[in-house]
Each structure stands twice: as C-alpha cells, then as structure tokens.
Amino acid sequence: MARMSPFFRRKAVPPDERSVTLVGKPGCHLCDDARAVVEKVCGELGVPWEEKDITRDRRLHDEYWEQIPVVLVDGQQHTFWRVDEGRLRKELTGN
C-alpha cells in the first residue's frame, strides 16, 4: 500500500489537547442522548468538553437551531442530531 503524502496526513493531536463542545438546549431528548455519549467518550479519553445552550446564545441559535444537538471538535462541526460513539472516539484519537 502506498504511503500517504505528509501534505494530506492529519497531524496527530493528543486527546488531552483536543476540545469538544456540545451545542443543545434544555428539554431536548436528542441532546440528552448526545450528552451521555460525549460524557462517556471524553471521560474515558481525558478530553475536556463543555456544553453550550442555544437559548442563551443568539449566534449559536441562529447557526445551529435546526441541527441540535451539534458536536464541535476543536471548534469545527463534527456531527449533529445523533452522536456515534465510535466515530467520535476515532476523531479524538486518530484510530
């Protein structure tokens, strides 16, 4: 198998240097499901995470209200609606 050019390879970042943000709102059952996955994966990997409420932030509301819950990894949108544990783990570990 040919080796990938360094130009296209992602630089590995240790999990504890990553950040995850869960964007949602109170009373959202999908947000509750997403929180459980994010909390589990980030807890196991030692990745810091935070939760932001679209009802308290107009910019987040305008950007994400149709997609919540939204998971951002290092400030970039990773997924929305349903959070896949394996996919999130792979994104955070590179494996």
**Count of CA atoms in the C-beta half-sphere (13 A) of 56:** 7
* Helical spans, DSSP H, in 1-95: 29-45, 58-64, 85-93
Give the C-alpha separation, 28 to 35, whole Å. 11
Taking CB atoms within 8 Å and a gap of at least 24, the contacts of 78-81 are 78/20, 81/30
With H, G, I as helix, E, B as strand and everything else as coil, classify residue 51.
strand
pTM: 0.84
> What is the average pLDDT across 5-34?
82
pLDDT tens-place string over residues 36-95: 999 999 999 999 999 999 999 999 999 999 999 999 999 999 999 999 999 999 999 987
H or E, element range at 78: strand 76-80
Is residue 4 scored above 70 in pLDDT?
no
**pLDDT at residue 8 in the model:** 47
